[in-house]
A and B are shown apart, each in its own frame.
Chain A
Amino acid sequence: MATLSGAGSIFEVAEAENEAVPSYSTGSPRRRRRIRWWRLVVLLLAGAYFLIPIYAGIKFSLQNVEGHFSFQAYRALPSAPGFTGALTLSLELAVATMVVSTLLMVPTAIYVHIRLPQLRRVLDVVTVMPIVIPPIVLIVGVLGAFPEWARASPYLLSFMYVILAMPFVYRSLDAGLGAIDLKTLTEASRSLGGNWIKTLWRVILPNIRPALLSATVLTLALVFGEYTMASLDLWTTIPVWIVQFSISSDGPVQVAASMLGLVGTWILLIAVVSLDRSQSRRSHRKLGA
């Protein structure tokens, strides 16, 4: 195409842009406006449905006993009976889950992408199982089958949380690995004399960092939100504590804990994603691309 006239090359660029950004609005301006109007209604309705309950929760947690605005609930949270113990347990479980999940899923996902692409469908099906098999069935089976020493440890929960996180972790990694040219990268690294560990550590992992980070944050969200398994395994993690505390004393304190968890995770995830975007953009600029 480079040998063609100037007009031809402009056409080429225009078409390339069309390919890169899926464009759905090639029709007349009138239809375009109609689609936009329709889209606005859908987005507004969804926004209302998702944001009003969050607003209601936050508003409720910011009320004192007389119904006035106050940070009382958030101030009372750290000293609420049992809160620190539950928080410590949840944090320990979260760290264990994230470490095991990363060590297990990252090498597997990378290996399957490079060497065994035909196994991707098998992995797709296996990693979707934890959404389909109810956590309650899994924990019932675990409590019925696992030996005494395993059931006595809270880390049994971490063991199962790795399973529960699989659908989100694997999908995130799968998308991240699919977005980079893994084959070229590894071949380049290998031909420059890098061994597998070096390739993994210095080439692949930095390239899938956004996927890795969002998988980690989603795991964190899962551990801090999981109630079924923890309550049936009789461990007081944060969600279980919130339920117990709400039975013993009602008030906005447990709502404050819930809202902190939800909004905190969301902000953390947005921060991770946008931080990484801006960083990769900067490195692109440095390369002059």
Chain B
Amino acid sequence: MSSSEVAASDASTSVLGSGAATLNNNSRLRRVLRRSEPTFAIAPFLIYAFLGLGIPSLAVVYQAFHAQTGGWTLYNIRLVTHGVFLVGFENSIKLGLISSIVPGILGVFLAYAIQTSHSNVLRRLTSTASGVLANFGGINLTFMFIATLGSTGILTYWLHDIGINLANFGFNLFTFSGVLFVYMYFQLPLMVLVITPALGGLRPSWREAAENMGASSWSYWRHVGIPVLMPSILGGMLLLFGSAFAAYATAESLTLGLVALSPIQIGNFLNGNVIAGETHVGYAIAFGMLIILTVTMVLYSLVRKRASKWLR
């Protein structure tokens, strides 16, 4: 808050309030307190965020450049940019991209279908379900999908009864395609959560204006709807990318840690499944993930800046 605003609100208090006299007595102290009030009020949050987000990130960077014996080294970084670790990054990025683009597009349709249904019950059910399911994952999710699409799963049976064998289509729950399909279970709700406010920002008057000028439904979406929504959709997809890129528990329990993905590789180093004394390689992989995600974040904030221009 600028000092002129403070002065203005002080003036309004003295006009409105009964305590004009008391205000004068310690007005200087008050002004100092007032000016530092925003800092005090916001400080706990910023300190907490720094301790919980900043310190761990800095520690990862620091440890990535250190050897087990102490002292600076580039050995860890060189190691993780080659061989199986590079494949891990590639797989993770590939998985992140596919499982952000596909649920990203489907999520828009789903959110739009829910929003235009005008059913409060449906909206309440789906908004609560989105919140719960976006936090759902890991072993529980794996169990559910094994019971659904595993070799004795119920959907496998149902499809078998009508003569469809999923394995013939190259689908296997425990490989890349399976991980992708299962990830949708928390990615789609996350997209619905993120995109619903943006859909609410589409004004009916825009549609009416377009129709008055003779636009078809398609040309409305082509020239108005999609351009307006595009920044939010891209922003949502970037979030989904981060979330899929980061997911550890689901991938680990589904593939038993056998598919080369960066989070699983970090887990292996920390669990001591790999030769002891090489935990710093894990830090280096974590550092690599941070770099990739920093790029994602920069893109996200650029996109968000454009999105907020329209949706006010």
A107 pairs with B283, CB closer than 8 A: no
* B-chain residues with CB within 8 Å of residue A254 when the two chains form the complex: 139, 143
Q: Is A160 an interface residue (CB 8 A)?
A: yes
| Residues in B108-128 with C-beta less than 8 Å from chain A | 109-110, 113-118, 122, 124-125, 127-128
> Is B166 interfacial (CB 8 A cutoff)?
no
* Cα distance A27–B267 in the bound complex, in angstroms: 55
In the bound assembly, the distance between CA atoms of A227 and B134 in angstroms comes to: 14
B129 touches A26 (CB 8 A): no
Contacts of A125 in B (CB 8 A): 297, 301, 304
Q: Are B147 and A39 in contact (CB under 8 A)?
A: no
Cβ–Cβ contact B246 & A39, under 8 A: no
Chain A residues with CB under 8 Å of B170's CB are none
A29 to chain B: which residues have CB within 8 Å? Answer: none
What 1/0 mask marks residues of chain B from 51 to 66 whose CB sits below 8 Å from any chain A CB?
1110111111011000
Residue-wise, chain A 24-52 has the 8 Å CB interface mask toward B (1 for contact) of: 11110001000100110011001001101
- Answer yes or no: A159 CB below 8 A from chain B CBs: yes
Task: For residue A230, give the distance in angstroms from its CB to the closest CB of chain B.
Answer: 10
- The residues in B between 38 and 59 inclusive whose CB is less than 8 angstroms from any CB of A are 38, 41-42, 44-45, 48-49, 51-53, 55-59
Q: Which residues of B contact A52 (CB under 8 A)?
A: 148, 154-155
Q: Is B234 an interface residue (CB 8 A)?
A: no
- CA separation between A211 and B194, bound complex, in Å? 16
Instruction: Tell me the chain B residues, 129-164 only, with Cβ under 8 Å from chain A.
Output: 129, 131-140, 143-145, 147-148, 153-155
Q: Are A26 and B204 touching (Cβ within 8 A)?
A: yes
Contact status B293-A144, CB under 8 Å: no
Closest A-chain residue to B53, C-beta based? A129
Residue of A nearest to B189 (CB): A50
CB-based contact A142/B59 at 8 Å:
yes
In the complex the two chains form, what is the Cα distance from A140 to B62 in whole Å? 12
- CA distance in complex: A250, B147 (Å): 13
Say yes or no: is B87 at the interface (Cβ < 8 Å to chain A): no
Q: Does A10 contact B (CB under 8 A)?
A: no
- Asked whether B290 lies within 8 Å of A133 as measured between CB atoms, the reply is yes
Question: Are the C-beta atoms of A46 and B266 separated by less than 8 Å?
Answer: no
Chain B residues with CB under 8 A of A89: none
How far is it, in angstroms, between the C-alpha of A162 and the C-alpha of B48 when the chains are bound? 9
C-alpha spacing A104/B52, complex, angstroms: 13
A contact residues around B147 at 8 Å (CB):
53, 56-57, 59-60, 255
In the bound assembly, the distance between CA atoms of A52 and B122 in angstroms comes to: 18
B233 within 8 A of A: no
Given A49-B184, A136-B263, CB of A56 within 8 Å of CB of B144:
yes
Q: Does A91 contact B (CB under 8 A)?
A: no
A145 near B55 with CB under 8 A, answer yes
Complexed CA–CA distance, A218 and B190 (Å): 13
User: Known: A131-B242, A232-B267. Is A168-B131 also a contact (CB below 8 A)?
Assistant: yes
Q: How many A-B contacts at CB < 8 Å in the complex?
A: 268
- Specify the main secondary structure of chain B where it touches its partner: helix
CB distance from A146 to the nearest CB of B (A): 8
Decide if B128 touches A222 in the complex (CB within 8 Å): no
In the complex, which residues of chain A have a beta carbon less than 8 angstroms from the beta carbon of B59? 141-142, 144-145
Partner of A57, one of B110, B124, B137, B143: B143
- For window 122-175 of A, CB contacts with B under 8 Å fall at 123-126, 128-146, 159-160, 162-163, 166, 168, 171, 175
- In the assembled complex, the CB of A112 is this many whole angstroms from the nearest CB of chain B, namely 7
Taking a contact as CB atoms closer than 8 A, the residue among A50, A138, A214, A239 that contacts B52 in the complex is A138
**Shortest beta-carbon distance, B7 to chain A, in Å?**
15
Judged by a CB distance under 8 angstroms, whether B27 is at the interface is: no
Are A119 and B42 in touch, CB under 8 angstroms?
yes
Name the interface residues of B232-285: CB closer than 8 Å to any CB of A.
239, 242-243, 245-249, 253, 263, 266-267, 270-271, 282-283
**Which residues from chain B contact A25 at a C-beta distance below 8 Å?**
116
CB B22 to nearest CB in A, in angstroms, measures 14
Is B204's CB under 8 angstroms from A239's CB?
no
Contacts of A26 in B (CB 8 A): 204, 207-208, 211
Q: With A121-B304, A142-B56 given, can you name 8 additional A-B contacts, CB distance below 8 Å?
A: A24-B116, A43-B114, A104-B44, A104-B45, A112-B42, A136-B263, A141-B57, A144-B63
Ordered by A's residue number, 25 sampled pairs between the chains whose C-beta atoms are within 8 Å are A26-B204, A39-B113, A49-B184, A49-B188, A56-B148, A108-B45, A119-B42, A124-B304, A131-B243, A136-B266, A137-B246, A137-B290, A138-B56, A138-B57, A144-B56, A145-B55, A171-B193, A214-B131, A218-B132, A222-B135, A239-B249, A255-B144, A262-B132, A273-B128, A277-B124
- Considering the complex of A and B, which 5 residue pairs feature the smallest CB-CB distances, nearest first? A141-B56, A134-B246, A145-B59, A258-B140, A132-B242
